[in-house]
Amino acid sequence: MKIVFIGDIVGRPGREMIAKHLKNIREKYNIDLVIANYENASHGFGITKKNADELFGYGIDVMTGGNHSWDKKEIFEIFNTHPLIRPINYPDKSPGRGWIELEVCNQRVAVVSVMGNYTMPMSDNPFIKMNEITNQLRADGIRHIIVDIHAEATSEKQAMMHILKDRVSALFGTHTHIGTDDLMIVNGCCFVTDVGLSGCRDQVIGMDRDIPIEKFMTGVGGHFDIPKKCKKILQMIIFELDDDGRTINAQKLRIYDNGEILKNTARVESY
């Protein structure tokens, strides 16, 4: 089973890179499932129904959320009609669901979204919640479990990896928008601290750089915006799972709008 995981899609530039490249990626690598994070897909904050339909039309199968899941209120309705999930450690009464089950290559696959604590909205303890849901999924016979941990602190992401590495197939960090170089396969679990954004690469976390620079220089900020023109990047992890839900190979793929493509192979670890 070959899977693609795409981190934070940031605004129109990110959607344009998905539109341009994802179909070819699916065909070239014989991809069976594409997962992406929607949290910044619509002008940098949340996702609209129009943009959700657009991204699913490009070949994404499931989308995960984060702390901006609620920014576009129309998402409340499309949680019931689209394969969208929000962090599982939001209160149970919050709109939407925290995980979704799919059938892929005759296997049951669970995709889970969870949010960290540091600098994030108040929510349940992500470590206890993930420990519980992972045990429940495995008790139900699901071995192919893919987790998006949407968190600011790298320590939270790495701690979650150590807690779950023997029970989940893959754990991918999102939220910081800055890709890390620690892609690895640990005890059969694919892990990277942060996949990195898909969108503008020459700004500040995908947003027009003028406002964050002004805030850093003066202490006075403004509304973050997506620039109309920028240099773009598409970042993803391509990984393969065996019948037991363990990762057997993985690579990071970075595609630039100038045609340059960089690949990094995951380091295999055991600890």
Q: Write out 228-246 in H/E/C secondary structure.
A: CCCCEEEEEEEEEECCCCC
Catalytic residue among 21, 43, 68, 175: 68
Q: CB 29: neighbour CB atoms within 10 A?
A: 15
Show the tokens assigned to 221: 């900020």
Q: What is the pLDDT of residues 143-181, one digit of tens each?
A: 999 999 999 999 999 999 999 999 999 999 999 999 999
Q: What is the CATH number of the domain that holds 190?
A: 3.60.21.10
- What's the domain count of the chain? 1
Phi, psi of 35 (to 5 degrees): -120, 140
The predicted structure's pLDDT at residue 220? 87
For residues 68-95, b (16+ Cβ closer than 10 Å) or e, as one string?
A: bbbbbeebeebbeebbbbbbbbbeeebe
Residues 46-82: tens digit of each pLDDT: 999 999 999 999 999 999 999 998 889 889 989 989 9
Whole-model pTM? Answer: 0.96
Q: What is the pLDDT of residue 228?
A: 87
Beta strands in 151-231 (DSSP E): 170-174, 184-186, 189-192, 199-200
97 — pLDDT class (breaks 50, 70, 90)? very high
Q: Is 68 a catalytic residue?
A: yes
Is the separation of the CB atoms in 268 and 184 below 8 Å?
Answer: yes
Structural domain including 216 reads 2-269
Query: Which residue shows structure tokens 């919640």?
Result: 129
- Confidence band for 271, pLDDT divided at 50, 70 and 90: confident
